[in-house]
Amino acid sequence: MNSSASSTIKKKRRQQIDINTLGQQLIQGNITALSRGITLVESENSNHQQQAEQLIEYCLPHANKSVRIGITGVPGVGKSTFIEAFGNHLTSLNKKVAVLAVDPSSSISKGSILGDKTRMEDLVKNKNAFIRPSPSGDSLGGVAKKTRESIILCEAAGFDTILIETVGVGQSETAVHSMVDFFLLLKLAGAGDELQGIKRGIIEMADAIIINKADKDNVKRAKMAKTEFQRALHLYPPKASEWIAKTATCSAIENKGIDTVWEMISDYVSQTKANNYFEANRKEQNKYWLIQTIEHHLKSNFYQRKNIQNLLDELLQKVKEGLVSPFSAAAKLLDEYKKLK
């Protein structure tokens, strides 16, 4: 057998994935299988997407047994440092923590640094923690398109606390809010964004606002910011969960106030499970993600069609030159798409 034929066979073997075996390994807590599963889920390859759907179906009966926590905040607020301190605290309580950290992708190069594992160098060594950085791509709100599916795989692998870190660039945090149980907003004191933050809808979505970096000469400012945000929260209507959003200060770098954050989340989970909101919210989220999945598949199917790609290139040039309106071009593309059905 020549080297070319051998290489082809090896390539085919790599492409052939036994979903049952992978699923069994994953639900047994095999981290390599979990990583492979998430890679499969994130792949844009059509064959991989079909296999990923099979894997999700296999894992679904073993999922939904965690607390899902979304963590967001502007760049520089200390999300990675906070998550590392928070994750280490949770593992000290015998929790198994999965961190799905979404790194911003460049709108120019489409590249992503994926440096969260470097920034969380202590947590990454923790045997009860799993960190998976993923590029945000063009997703609004800095949530990778496949984060929802990755959550299911992590839960099936036995992780009972899922932390989702978003880019936090202010585009739209609705996506992460619609896949978590508890939404945590990290803020800074003295950064000049207190009043600006109050205006944004993100405050209304937050179940807790934590003022990070409350250390050294910043403690007083952090306490003042906490008071300001607590007052602002009273301006918003009551939540359907009946939970009254809380504020607190912490110092992730000095590991102060981290336990308070977990106590707050535990109180929330107890309250919302008692009033049945927790389960009802999960069901509503599933409905939301059904619609989102349909939209994603339709969009992918549309742009992957060769005829559409060719016509799109032609019409984009005409729109650019002012020969065709964007609306007319869109109508022509949709008409062409209907003919392909």
Q: Give 212's DSSP letter.
A: E
**Per-residue model confidence (pLDDT) at position 141:** 39
Q: CATH no. for residue 111?
A: 3.40.50.300
CA distance 265 to 68: 10
Same domain for 123 and 266? yes
- Looking at the 3D structure of the chain, how many domains does it have? 3
Same domain for 247 and 335? no
pLDDT, tens only, 10-66: 454 455 679 999 999 999 999 999 999 999 998 878 788 889 999 999 999 999 999
pLDDT, tens only, 148-166: 899 999 999 999 999 998 8
What average pLDDT does range 94-105 have in this prediction? 82
**Per-residue model confidence (pLDDT) at position 189:** 85
Same domain for 200 and 315? no
What six digits make up the tokens of 209? 């606002």
pLDDT, tens only, 267-280: 999 999 999 999 99
Asked whether residue 307 carries a pLDDT value surpassing 70, the answer given is: yes
Q: How far is CA 27 from CA 53, 101, 127, 148, 154, in A?
A: 16, 22, 16, 17, 9
Asked whether residue 109 carries a pLDDT value surpassing 80, the answer given is: no
Same domain for 185 and 120? yes
Q: CATH no. for residue 50?
A: 1.20.5.170
Q: CATH no. for residue 298?
A: 1.10.287
* β-pairing verdict for 97-103 and 129-135: parallel
**Per-residue model confidence (pLDDT) at position 157:** 97
Banded model confidence at residue 142, pLDDT cuts 50, 70, 90: very low
Same domain for 232 and 90? yes
Residue 276, sorted as left (phi over 0), alpha (psi -120 to 50) or beta, turns out to be: left
pLDDT above 70 as % of the chain: 82
Contact 40, 151 (CB under 8 A): no
Contact 225, 214 (CB under 8 A): no
Banded model confidence at residue 199, pLDDT cuts 50, 70, 90: very low
Same domain for 196 and 264? yes
Contact 168, 142 (CB under 8 A): yes
**Per-residue model confidence (pLDDT) at position 91:** 97
Same domain for 129 and 32? no
Q: How far is CA 129 from CA 93, 212, 215, in A?
A: 12, 22, 27
Determine, yes or no, domain membership for 238. yes
Q: Which of 8-22, 71-85, 249-263, 287-301 has the highest mean pLDDT?
A: 249-263
Look at 22 and 170; give whichever has higher pLDDT: 22
Residue 155: domain span? 64-274
- Rounding to the nearest 10 degrees, give the CA dihedral for residues 31, 36, 39, 43: -160
Average pLDDT, the chain: 85
pLDDT, tens only, 207-259: 999 999 999 899 999 999 999 899 888 888 889 999 999 999 999 999 999 99
| Burial annotation 189-205 (CB, 10 A radius, 16+ → b, else e) | beeeebeebeeeebbeb
Same domain for 304 and 211? no
